[in-house]
Structures are given as C-alpha cells and as structure tokens.
Chain A
Amino acid sequence: MLPLKDEHVALRLVDVCKTFKREKRRKGRWPWQAPHADETATLVRALDHVSLEVRRHEIFGILGPNGSGKSTLVRVVSTLLLPDSGRVEVFGYDVVREEQAVKRLINRVSVEAAFFKKLSAMENLIFGARLYGLPGAEARRRIVAILERLGLDEEATYQPVEDLSRGMQQKVAIARAFLTQPILLLLDEPTTGLDPRSRREVQAFVRELRDTHDATILLTTHDMQEAEQLCDRVAIIDRGRIVASGTPAALKAQVAPPDGAAPTLEDVFLALTGRPLVEWADEEKEVVA
C-alpha cells in the first residue's frame, strides 16, 4: 500500500470554499439572445470556509439539511470537484496536486446507487474492481464474500441491478467501495431511503469496517439518530458553513432545551441556526447575487 504522509489525520480541510454558478434562463428564449434582467447568473456558495479534521479510525458525521453542502464536501474530498480555495488533504496527500495518491486511498458511496442498471451486481463490481487493478479471479472471490456478508443472496448477485430493491442496490454500492479496501471511506447519506432493517444492517457494517479493517469513515446524514448512534464526532453544516463540531454528547451539552428534557442534536441545530433541521425547505438555499 501507499505510504501515508500523515499517519494520524485521515482528512484535513482548511478553509475550503466552493461556489457554483447557476445560469437562469427563461423558457422559450434562444441561447444567443441577450439575457433578460431577471436572467442573471446566481452564485451558490456550497462550501463557505470549511475547516475540519478527521482522525484515523474515526467515524465522523456531517449532519445538515438538504442543500447545506454535504455532497459537495464529499465530492471535493473524492477529487470530483476542485475547491475554489483552501486545502484538502487525505492522509497528508493533497487532493488537487496528488490526485492519484488520494484516489488510491479513498472510495465513495453516493445517495443514488450509480450503476449500469442492466448489468448484474457481479458485472458492475468486477468492472469497479478491475479499475482498481484487482485481477478478475480474486475480485470474484472477494465480491462473493462481501455480498454474502451484506446479506445478498447468490441469485440477486447475477440479476440486473435494476431488478434489485433500493436497499439491495445500496448494499451493492457499499460493496463496490469496500472491495477496493479504501482506508478513507466516504459515505454520502448511505442509509437515506432504506427501510429500518436495511438501515441497521448498513450501520452495523460501517462499524465493522472501522473496527476490523483499518478504515476511517466520513459519512453525511440528515438523520439525527444515525449521527448520534454511529458517529464518534459530528460536524453540523448549514448553508455551507460548519456551525459546530464535537462528540454528540459534547454538542448536546452546549444547549439546554426549554422544558428541561434531555437535549437532542435537533435542539443543537435549532439553537445554532435558529431553524429546525428537518423542515428546512430546498428552495431556501442561500443565494449570493
């Protein structure tokens, strides 16, 4: 394996910013026509001076509402987006300058299970494994073992992915990432849309990965309970800014709910942003003109 430049800090973000430009065009106007007054491009600040550190072997949660920048953060770490400014390091390797090294250390699972839907789980996973230099026979062996561990039966392994339930697809996605033995695993809402049982299975597997496979895990979620039960430390992100971070217990200790009941992470979010976490609507994202 690649020697690590930094043995102790799995992920370090320093002052990272990422802004997207969104062109607004009215329907029915030709591309060459001069833009209308209300058609000016808007800038969306998805990451706003984000700094954080994830230590090796941690399960670190990014908790935030829709559109708060969770996926953008994960994409910046996984070399799929270039940060506008700031520094991102994976075990000491810079994601922009040492892209190939970083790629060998990480893998990612996204919310939507991205597969060739007509191909079977096995075919999709073999493809993924070969991209990481695994020989076919060994890949096959590992895939069977992992899928079995994740509770996918043999038959499902050879069916087109589109015929699998959402929960099963998500397990195949996790298998794809795990197959390449990343030491930093990025999970973008790994349990969203899963039924309670699949959710618990996935969570158990995440713990197992950390405990038995020398993996560090960064996961995003908007599920309070998940953050609380699964994560060693949590950062709360809102409109691209980290508003608080620490162990779930420490975060909760920061706030005293009005009725004297035990505080939840929900209360923490409310106290820090003045808004509830769950009712946060999509169209309220920060728009910087």
Chain B
Amino acid sequence: MSLELVFQYLVSPTFIHGAIMTLLITVSSLVFGLLAGFLLALLNQVKFPPVKWLTVFYLWLFRGTPVLFQIIFIYNVLPTFGIRLSAFASGVIALSLNEGAYMAEIIRSGLQAIKSGQRTAGMALGMTRTMVLRHVVMPQAARIMLPPIGNQTIGMLKTSALVSVIAVEELLLVANQTASATFRYFEALSAAGIYYLALTTIFMAGQYWMERALEPKRSRVEKRSLLSALLQPAEDKH
C-alpha cells in the first residue's frame, strides 16, 4: 500500500482525463436528460390522446429495462441501421434517454404542485401561456424539483461508470485498466474513489447554492441555524 502512488495516480494525465470524461458524461447526460424530461412532461399534458400515449410508452420502455441494457443496445444496434456514433456519444444518448424518463416524472410532479390558481392569476393579467409557464410556474416549480434533481445528479455520476462496458475511457475504466496492468488495485481504485467523492461534493455544494439562489428573499431576517451560519457568510441586506 503506497499513498504516494495514490497521489501519483491522482495527478496522472490518464486519471485526470478519466475524471474529466466522467464529469462530461454526467453533465451532458443530465442536461439532455432534463431537456428530454421537460419535453416529455409538456407532451404528457397535451390533450390529444396519441401524444399522451407516446409519452407513456416512452416512460414504460426506459424505466422497464436496465440502463446497462440501453447502453449496450444503442452502442451495438444503432450501427446496423447505419447510424455510427462514437462510444462516448452512444453512452451519453443512452444515459440521457434513460434520465429523461425519470426527470419527466420529477418535472411533472413539480409543475403539478403549483396550484391552478397561480396560472389563472397570471392568465387574468394578460400573460400568455408561455409567459405564465416561464415567469409564474417554473420559478416556483424549480424550488420543488431541485432536491430530487440533485439526487438524480449524484446518481448519474455513479451510473456514468456503466459506460465503461462500451470502452469509454471514464474514471472506472481507467482505474480498472491501471490496476490490472500493475496489480496495484488499492492505489488505483482509491484514486478513482477520491475523484468520485470530490465530484459528488462539488455537485452537492452546487445544489445547495442553487436552492439558496431560488429561495425568495425574505424581508425579515430569519433566525439562522448554527450550521447554516457557519456554512455561509452573513448576507448584506439593502
């Protein structure tokens, strides 16, 4: 066991590259997953039955099969239809489509949590449906959706390791290859673990910061808990 070797792995170009790949896969899958989820949630509200059924079918398909299956399927089956994609792109597409199914549910329940009276009030002021969605419903729904989306993000970071099966050079694959080549399992896997924990911490901090940013600004100063007072500097009130 050598801590020095762990450190050398941490700063080695292959591990840094692996960590960047993991981050890239996670963030892109999340962004596309959110877009897919948003689209699905909106289509789900369309009153035309075939559209609604299509979204139900999508959710059934992507929640009813393993992600690993979806990754392998997209990577290996799409080329037979003439669609050639890199392993990275295949991985991101599979993870995004899968994530979309879960995000759709989160977004749908977030939108439904906003009482119809808020929409009516917006409409009564002459706002269009789009304006109401953007300025009345979304800002309120976002606060409700953020914690579950944060969970999904951290889940995605770990799920991203699955794309190692189609040989995307992400963190786990790099660690595993290094370990098999050198038999230094402890050091190689520790280095990967440290990167995973570091990335998770960054995401958690990001979620915390966004939750605070979305919180409406109270006019009265509220009593802050010790922990929150320690974690954040006192804000200046105008």
Decide if A and B are genuine partners.
Answer: no
Binding site for B on A (CB under 8 A): none
Binding site for A on B (CB under 8 A): none
